[in-house]
Structure 1
Amino acid sequence: MTGPEHYTEAERLIAGRHFPADPDLGDPASYHPATADDIAQAQVHAILALAAATALAASPAGHMPIADYNAWRATAHAPDVRTSAYDAETAGA
């Protein structure tokens, strides 16, 4: 499982989970509290995602390879801003 896949799984495990302490969630009858197991699994996946991102960012080139960067950007639903030219330009840095 890749870092972005771990991140996505952590989001999936807690998606739609409502916590009654939040007054902006509407009708309390619609609450679906996350179970302790959901939270524990989400936490493990989030930690593995963080470890993957940290390891990739610490590459000898000083930045994450473009393919991995783009996978993380897609996972975060953010537009791509780097190009492969950036990798070539900074590879010798």
Structure 2
Amino acid sequence: MTGPEHYREAERLLAQDRAEGLEGTYFFRPESLAAAQVHATLALAAATAMQAGVDGCEPGMDPAEYDAWCSAAGVHAAMGGGPR
């Protein structure tokens, strides 16, 4: 799952509760809220990782680690973060 997909899944989980009549009560089921938080955190991790230099040479991140993050985020490292 890519970072944007994680973000959309977090939104979907919260919207699902709203669609079930919980909107306006400011309450989400704990399991929905926890799952949405996990997806939002993974989306943030992917977005943060993709801020590394386009060529994978950002200080502190070796090229193999950068390539691994690009793969996890579902983008091409060689194309500077473009979609796969």
Normalised TM-score (structure 1): 0.50
Q: Give, in whole Å, the separation in 1 of the partners of 2:37 and 2:24.
A: 17
C-alpha distance in structure 2 between counterparts of 1:59 and 1:19, whole Å: 43
Quick one: which of 40, 47, 63 aligns to 1:46?
A: 40
Distance 2:46 2:53 in 1: 11
Pick the aligned partner of 2:83 from 56, 67, 71: 67
Once the two structures are TM-superposed, the CA of residue 19 in structure 1 deviates from its matched residue by 3.8
Name the Cα RMSD after superposition: 2.3
Q: Does 1:57 align with 2:51?
A: yes
> Which of the two has greater strand per residue?
2
Question: For this pair of structures, how many residues does the alignment match?
Answer: 56
Superposition misfits of 4+ residues, deviation over 6 angstroms: none
Q: Offset of 1:60 from its aligned partner? A: 4.4
**Counterpart residue number, 1:10:** 10
Structure 2 unaligned segments of length 5 or more: list them. 59-79
The residue type equivalent to 2:25 in the other structure is P
In the alignment, residue 57 of structure 1 is paired with which amino acid? Q
Report % sequence identity: 52
Larger radius of gyration: 1
Matches within 5 A, 1:78-89: none
Q: What is the CA–CA distance in structure 1 between the aligned matches of 2:13 and 2:39, rounded to whole Å? A: 9
